[in-house]
Amino acid sequence: MKTIKAVLVWGIFLLSIIVVAQNPNPENGLKKVIVQEVIQVSNYTYLHVLEDGAKKWIAVPTIDAKTGDSYFYKRDIEIPDFESKELGRKFDAMLFLGFISNANTVDKNTVTNPANDCISIAELYKNKQLYAGKKVKVKGKITKYSGVIMEKNWLHLEDGTHFERDNDLTITCQENITEGDVVIFEGVIAINKDFGGGYFYKVIMEDAVILP
C-alpha cells in the first residue's frame, strides 16, 4: 500500500511539473520555461530550464535570475555542441535568445512585450551585434521626423528604455509620420553605419514599414 501511494504521489508531482511548464497563452506563440540552474558568465546568463517537461540550456543577455523563476520567449537561435571557453565546458546545445520576459511583464501591453515580437531599444543597443542584418520589430513614440533626405524619410523613435546613454533609434522609411505618433516598425538593423558628413549611427533600422 505504501509503495502504491508513493507511486501515486510521485506521478502527481511529475504531472504538476509538466502542467506548470506549459505555456498559458499558446495562441501568442510564447514558450514558458522554469529555471532549474543559473550560471553567470561575461555578458550572458546561462539558464538550465524546464520546458514542457524537458530540460534545455538557454543563453540570454545578463539578467538577475534565480532557481524557480518563470520566463517566456519566442524566437531563438540554437547552436549544437556549444562550447563555453570561459567555463571550459561543452553543452549538447545552447539556445541563444535576444530577449526573454518574466511572468510579471508577459501579459502587460508594453513596448517590450514579446507577444507582438517587439524588442526594446535598450536590447538593440546592448546586443547590437546579435541583431546586425536581421529584421526586427520595435514599438515606440516618434520624437523627431525629417522628410525626404537622400530619398528617404528619417525619424527618431523612443520607447522609454535606454542602454547607457542611448535611448532613441533612428529609422529610415518611405512612410509619412507625425511626431508624437506611437507605432510599430519592422525593418532591418544595421550597425556602425557611416553616411558621411558626421552622420554615423551605432544602430539604425533601414527601409522600415509600419505594422498595424
User: What pLDDT score was predicted for residue 204?
Assistant: 95
Contact 153, 141 (CB under 8 A): no
Mean per-residue pLDDT for 157-182? Answer: 88
Residues 107-159 pLDDT 10s: 443 333 443 578 888 889 988 898 999 999 998 889 998 877 878 889 999 98
CA dihedral 175, 179, 180, 186 (to 10 degrees): 30
Comparing 2-102 with 114-211, is the CATH topology the same? yes
- Is 13's pLDDT higher than 60? no
User: What pLDDT score was predicted for residue 160?
Assistant: 81
Distance CA 58, CA 44 (A): 10
Taking the domain 114-211, which CATH number applies? 2.40.50.140
How many other CB atoms are there within 10 angstroms of residue 156's CB atom? 17
Of 37-41, 75-79, 160-164, least confident by mean pLDDT is 75-79
Three-state SS at 107: coil
Mean per-residue pLDDT for 23-49? Answer: 79
User: What pLDDT score was predicted for residue 120?
Assistant: 86
Mean per-residue pLDDT for 192-211? Answer: 89
Distance CA 210, CA 143 (A): 16
Q: Where are the domains of the chain?
A: 2-102, 114-211
Class of CATH domain 2-102: mainly beta
Dihedrals φ, ψ of 119, to 5°?
A: -115, 160
Give the pLDDT band (50/70/90) at residue 5: very low
Q: Give the count of alpha carbons within 13 A of 16, CB side only.
A: 6
pTM, two decimals, is: 0.48
